[in-house]
C-alpha cells in the first residue's frame, strides 16, 4: 500500500461546477497536510495547508481533514479553466525532517 | 521576498557525465529539501538540510548522488556517472524550523541521453 494515495484521474469537471479531489494516507503519525497545484512542466505551488480535523476555506478552495479516517480532500468551487492542473496531496512523514510524502497526483480538467 | 531559485533550469547530458545543480532558498529559511519527480508521479524526497547539516538522506540517494550546503545558504546536488534512469525533474524546497510548509523552486529538468 502506498503511503499517500490519490485517484490519478483524469477528472473532468464543467466550468462553474465543484471539483472534488480526494487523498488517503497510511501514517497515523502525520500531523500536517498540504495540497499543491502543478501545471504541466512547472513545479508544485502550495495552495492549501490543513493541520486539524474539519474544514479550512481560502477563497474558492476548501480543504477537509478527517484524521480518524486518514482522509484529506480539496474542494474547488466555481471551477475555472485556469484550475486545470495536476493536484498533489502531500503529508508530513513525522520525525525531525518533516519531509513531505506525495501522492501521485490527480489530473483535473475544467471544461469551458 | 524572492522565492526559491534553481539553476540551471534545464540540463541535457550524456550518460556517464557528472552534473551539478544549485538551489538558493528563500533567504530566511534554514531548512532545505531536495526532491525528484518523474513523469506521472509525485515528488520523492531525496535529502534534507537544516542550516549546513545534512540530517536525512533517502535510500533513493545512491552513492552517485551527493548534496552539500556549505554555509547554510545555497545547496548543490551532484550526480556522478549519470544514467538514463536519472532523467527527472529535480526540485528544491525550503522552509523554516517549527513550520512544516515547504515552498518549491522552479526545478531543474535533467535529460540523460
Separation CA A83–CA A105 (nearest Å): 14
Q: Do B100 and A49 lie within an 8 Å CB cutoff?
A: yes
Using an 8 Å CB-CB cutoff, list chain B residues near A42. Answer: 106-107
Residue A96: what pLDDT?
62
Q: Do B56 and A88 lie within an 8 Å CB cutoff?
A: no
Using an 8 Å CB-CB cutoff, list chain A residues near B40. Answer: 8, 104-105
Residue B56 has its nearest CB partner, among A49, A90, A99, at A99
Which among A102, A87, A89 is positioned nearest to A19, based on CA atoms? Answer: A87
Place of cell 465543484: A18
Q: Is the dihedral of CA B77, B83, B86, B90 positive or negative?
A: positive
Q: What are the pLDDT digits (tens) for A38-95?
A: 999 999 999 999 999 999 999 999 999 999 999 999 999 999 999 999 999 999 976 6
Q: Which three cell numbers stand for residue B59?
A: 535510500
pLDDT confidence bin for B100, thresholds 50/70/90: confident
Q: Do B42 and A96 lie within an 8 Å CB cutoff?
A: no
Predicted confidence (pLDDT) at residue B47 exceeds the cutoff of 70: yes
Give bridge partners of residue A106 from the DSSP assignment. A87
Separation CA B5–CA B92 (nearest Å): 8
**Burial of A67 (C-beta count, 10 Å sphere; 0-12/13-18/19+):** middle
Min Cα–Cα distance to chain B from A16, Å: 27
Separation CA A105–CA A10 (nearest Å): 10
Using an 8 Å CB-CB cutoff, list chain A residues near B103. Answer: 46
Give counts: helices (H), strands (E), chain B: 0, 11
Predicted confidence (pLDDT) at residue A97 exceeds the cutoff of 70: no
Predicted confidence (pLDDT) at residue B1 exceeds the cutoff of 60: no
Using an 8 Å CB-CB cutoff, list chain A residues near B107. Answer: 42-43
Cβ neighbours of residue A48 closer than 8 Å, sequence gap 6 or more: A34, A35, A56, A58, A61, A63, A74
Q: Do B33 and A34 lie within an 8 Å CB cutoff?
A: no
Separation CA A99–CA A95 (nearest Å): 8
Amino acid at each position: 500500500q502506498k503511503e499517500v494515495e490519490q485517484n490519478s484521474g483524469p477528472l473532468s469537471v464543467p466550468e462553474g461546477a465543484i471539483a472534488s479531489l480526494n487523498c488517503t494516507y497510511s501514517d497515523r503519525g502525520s500531523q500536517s497536510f498540504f495540497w499543491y497545484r502543478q501545471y504541466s512542466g512547472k513545479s508544485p505551488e502550495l495552495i492549501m495547508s490543513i493541520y486539524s480535523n474539519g474544514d479550512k476555506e481560502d477563497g474558492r478552495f476548501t480543504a477537509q481533514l478527517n484524521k480518524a479516517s486518514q482522509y484529506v480532500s480539496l474542494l474547488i468551487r466555481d471551477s475555472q479553466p485556469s484550475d486545470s492542473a495536476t493536484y498533489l496531496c502531500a503529508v508530513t512523514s513525522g520525525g525531525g525532517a518533516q519531509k513531505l510524502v506525495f501522492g501521485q497526483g490527480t489530473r483535473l480538467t475544467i471544461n469551458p | 521576498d524572492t522565492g526559491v531559485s534553481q539553476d540551471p533550469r534545464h540540463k541535457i547530458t550524456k550518460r556517464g557525465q557528472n552534473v551539478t545543480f544549485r538551489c538558493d532558498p528563500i533567504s530566511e529559511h534554514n531548512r532545505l529539501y531536495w526532491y525528484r519527480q518523474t513523469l506521472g508521479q509525485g515528488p520523492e524526497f531525496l535529502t534534507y538540510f537544516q542550516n549546513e547539516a545534512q540530517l536525512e538522506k533517502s535510500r533513493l540517494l545512491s552513492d552517485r548522488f551527493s548534496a552539500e550546503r556549505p554555509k547554510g545558504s545555497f545547496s548543490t546536488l551532484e550526480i556522478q556517472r549519470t544514467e538514463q534512469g536519472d532523467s527527472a525533474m529535480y526540485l528544491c524546497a525550503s522552509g523554516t524550523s517549527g513550520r512544516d510548509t515547504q515552498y518549491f523552486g522552479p526545478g531543474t529538468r535533467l535529460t540523460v541521453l
